[in-house]
Structure 1
Amino acid sequence: MTTTRFAPSPTGYLHIGNLRAAMFNYLIARKAGGTFILRLDDTDRERSKQEYSDGIMRDLEWLGLTWDRVERQSDRLDRYAAVADDLRVSGRLYEVFETPTELDLKRKKLLNMGRPPVYDRAGLGLPDEEKARLRAEGREGYWRFLLDQQRIEWADGILGDISIDAASVSDPVLIRADGQVLYTFASSVDDVDMGVTDIVRGADHVTNTATQIQIIQAIGGGLPNFAHHSLLTGAQGEELSKRLGTLSLRDLRANGVAPEALLSLMARLGSSQPVELRMSLEEIAEGFDLSQFGASPTKFDAEDLWPLTRERNQRLPFEAVRDRVAELGVPADLAERFWRVASHNITRLDDLAGWWEIFSKGADPVIDPEDADFVAQAMALLPQGPFTDATWGEWTAAVKEATGRKGKGLFMPLRKALTGQAHGPEMADVMPLLQVVRARG
């Protein structure tokens, strides 16, 4: 059975860069009728916080990316310890003692010699007495995985055939001196134990994948299908990572971005398919094809979310917004009419409040000096409310007859006087909603 996972670290809130991995893995599982696991990679005890775990779940629920089960790495520490012991016995996990300063000097020396800065395995053959001496000096050992120095190859679902020479990669650190199990190791153990069959993540994980393939093989697991999606840049191709704090999903939600808009954009961004609004994840899943995505960096512009949000909101039936409209104080007998009139003149649902403010309390009239006398004459001809569907046509006909004005010169000053806006819904539809007309005097 197809099993995928989304494995964020609860050390911060989800941002737009995380969403692609979450979506792609979700869609693969749902299309196949499989299992989608939310796995919280929370082995970093200092930085992992419950508020971030809760925030991750809220964001995914907002988007409808529901999971079949939740796993937490912090609940699996005994399992990692047992697997680490097995790797020590087999000679694939070895203890090292170099300090960050010593490693940095080694890297610089290799670079100056024109060689790749790969760890030299100096700690691999340390005798026990030397390890004891280093510990007596106050050093703490940490653990590296011994890579087989051969080519690591896989058929990537997006990038195509990948081949990496393991000799060009440093033996990865799997366990820190303080005992913290690092992502590369814990993730590999989890993927094996949880039967993960497909993994989609960012192209910045390609080297991780190469090393994890050997770790998975060393612990006797079967290899999943890997795919690495392109990384996002800003609209001008600039690095996006520095702006991710302003592109958190919770901030986009708070600003009024519609979940369907975000999902529709991210499901097609970087693919050969056009971006089109889809109103459900089922629709998005039908058209999702991993092979349609390219490897080149993908430009993301948050402004692209607003036309989609506008379209989504305009498609909503009244039943979907009934409670929101009622909360604005719109009378029940006007609520559906109000939605029909206002919905085509908003981008965010929060914009509804501004229109009801205009209709219910009256707008500050906007009257150009050259139109002042005309508006005063017209307002004298405006009948007393309540207004009907026929009021606008009857009133403007009377004003035209009395003043001789017509066309834009007739209609625009009256619209601005009644609504304070140069643009908006058809005035024939607006008139029955007007509770107060300030321009009367």
Structure 2
Amino acid sequence: MTTRTRFAPSPTGFIHLGNIRSALYPWAFARSTGGAFILRVEDTDVERSTQASVDVILEGMEWLGLDYDEGPFYQMQRMERYKAVLAELQAAGHVYPCYMSVAELDALRERQMAAKEKPRYDGTWRPAPGKTLPAIPAGVEPVLRFMNPQDGSVAWDDKVKGRIEISNAELDDLVIARPDGTPTYNFCVVVDDIDMGMTHVIRGDDHINNTPRQINIFRALGAEPPVYAHLPTVLNEQGEKMSKRNGAKPVTAYRDEGYLPDAMVNYLARLGWSHGDDEIFSREQFLQWFDLDHLGRSAAQFDEAKLRWVNAQHLKAMADESLAALVAEQLLKRGVSADDRLARICGLFKDRCDTTVALADWAERFFVENVQASPEEHAQHIVPAIYPALDTLAGKLADADWSKSSIAAAIKETLAAHGLKMPQLAMPVRVLVMGTAHTPSVDAVIELLDRKLFLTRLEKR
């Protein structure tokens, strides 16, 4: 059997890291088993669904490299199919019209809650042998309800939660079509999963309550339910469920903030799955190792400091040329154009950066006219006593071979001529030419600067 998984987001808000993890695992399972991964957009909530939210889903998946084999399919474009299946279910006696008004449902729930009972539809309009149904009220369009089995139970072996069994007596008759005939979420999902041949449904555990209802609809349609794996919630740093309401950012914000897609995949994979004690791994290793048996049962908590650390490890390991291409994009957003020095600049500074934005902050100093140190650093290091040594260094480097070895030799000669130690000269030079006293080796930094720009900055005291 070929594995077929899916990601089925609802475009009612911008997709965040907690959501995209529910795409990562089914994608990884499909890729690791040689199966197919399908993207399905569940956009039946017409009032809240937006194209902007769809765009973030597509952009986020593209950025993370979560490629899909089929789709995107949109539920609103499949309405005729849903209505045809509804008609089949109704003809087979699995569906019935219910004329209970919203006011009557509210009053029923209030009575049940007052009696400390579980609020639920009481089956008033459910047909049964020998039962007389109420008179159909004039001018009322009914909803369609699924006739849930009243005996037995629904059970499945969840790949995360283990064995789950729920009595059918706990389930009321689900509304599967609204008064205007529009099918509801739980029904559409089942039809889609059957039509698209889903073998495994890997999704958040907020869907567990839907699962027994969906399994009963599968069986009414003569289909075998897929294997389920319900993932624990991702919590934010305050321990609340990650959501837009609780400050979660769109996944594309991390792209703009300079995170690497492979680092994000690495970090997200560890939010609910593990391979021994491995913290840092490549995408290829992840796909080689991934299975459903090592999904965690406990809620995972997002930690931005840990994400930055993971990103820093991937950034350090990345080839300088590849990194330069990403940093060039960040620079272009600032209106700064780089040249062929950029890869070497990235190689020099990447060990002290955790995002491509931070790396671009360093790189930018090599391609703009002016840099500005803080008043405190400037006052501490740029003092009149050092001016003669700066003038000597400038003179030696005005015509010297522009190489690291020649620059190092000029610095050494200047130190000797003025009786200085390296920090006494290097710190002021760094402040003047880079805007900070804290940089890698000063000769390596100077070599990557344009000579004319270096000399101009050295004169501005």
Q: TM-score if structure 1 supplies the norm length?
A: 0.89
2: CA distance, partners of 1:234 / 1:146: 39
* 1:226 CA displacement: 0.4
Query: Residues 242 and 64 (structure 1 numbering): CA distance in 2 closer, same or farther, change over 3 Å?
Result: closer
Instruction: Give the counterpart letter for 2:379 in structure 1.
Output: D
Q: Does 1:363 align with 2:343?
A: no
Q: Does 1:264 align with 2:266?
A: yes
Task: State the match for 1:37 in structure 2.
Answer: 38
Identity of aligned residues (%): 34
Q: Does 1:130 align with 2:111?
A: no
Q: 1:340 aligns with which of 347, 369, 389?
A: 347
Q: Secondary structure at the match of 2:366?
A: helix
Cα shift readout 1:209-248 (whole Å, capped 9, x = no counterpart): 1110100000011121001000011123123225466421
CA contact (8 A) 2:22 2:204 kept: yes
* 1:356 CA displacement: 3.4
Task: State the match for 2:458 in structure 1.
Answer: 439
Task: State the match for 2:63 in structure 1.
Answer: 62
* 1:392 CA displacement: 4.9
Please, which runs of 5 or more residues in structure 2 have no aligned partner? none
* 1:176 CA displacement: 1.2
Cα shift readout 1:54-79 (whole Å, capped 9, x = no counterpart): 43222211111111111232232222
1: CA distance, partners of 2:80 / 2:25: 31
Q: Does 1:276 align with 2:283?
A: no
How many residues are aligned here?
A: 435
CA contact (8 A) 1:345 1:425 kept: no
2: CA distance, partners of 1:321 / 1:241: 31
* 1:153 CA displacement: 0.7
Instruction: Give the counterpart letter for 2:46 in structure 1.
Output: R
Q: Higher mean Cα deviation, 162-171 or 28-37? A: 162-171
Task: State the match for 2:254 in structure 1.
Answer: 252
Please, which runs of 5 or more residues in structure 1 have no aligned partner? none
Q: Higher mean Cα deviation, 146-155 or 110-119? A: 110-119
* 1:370 CA displacement: 6.7
Q: Secondary structure at the match of 1:147?
A: coil
CA contact (8 A) 1:62 1:259 kept: yes
Q: 1:412 aligns with which of 427, 436, 443?
A: 427
Q: 1:384 aligns with which of 393, 397, 400?
A: 397
Instruction: Give the counterpart letter for 1:33 in structure 2.
Output: G
Q: Secondary structure at the match of 2:365?
A: helix
Instruction: Give the counterpart letter for 2:427 in structure 1.
Output: M
Q: Higher mean Cα deviation, 243-252 or 27-36? A: 243-252
Q: 1:330 aligns with which of 304, 314, 338?
A: 338
Q: Secondary structure at the match of 1:143?
A: strand
Q: Higher mean Cα deviation, 82-91 or 210-219? A: 82-91
Task: State the match for 1:206 in structure 2.
Answer: 208
2: CA distance, partners of 1:167 / 1:161: 19
Query: Residues 215 and 228 (structure 1 numbering): CA distance in 2 closer, same or farther, change over 3 Å?
Result: same
Q: TM-score if structure 2 supplies the norm length?
A: 0.86
CA contact (8 A) 2:79 2:182 kept: no
Task: State the match for 1:373 in structure 2.
Answer: 384
Instruction: Give the counterpart letter for 1:417 in structure 2.
Output: L
Q: Secondary structure at the match of 2:209?
A: helix
Cα shift readout 1:22-66 (whole Å, capped 9, x = no counterpart): 111111111111111111222333443444334322221111111
Query: Residues 424 and 170 (structure 1 numbering): CA distance in 2 closer, same or farther, change over 3 Å?
Result: farther
Q: 1:167 aligns with which of 162, 166, 169?
A: 169
Query: Residues 15 and 357 (structure 1 numbering): CA distance in 2 closer, same or farther, change over 3 Å?
Result: closer
Alignment of 1:70-81 (within 5 A): 70=71, 71-81=73-83
Q: Secondary structure at the match of 1:174?
A: strand
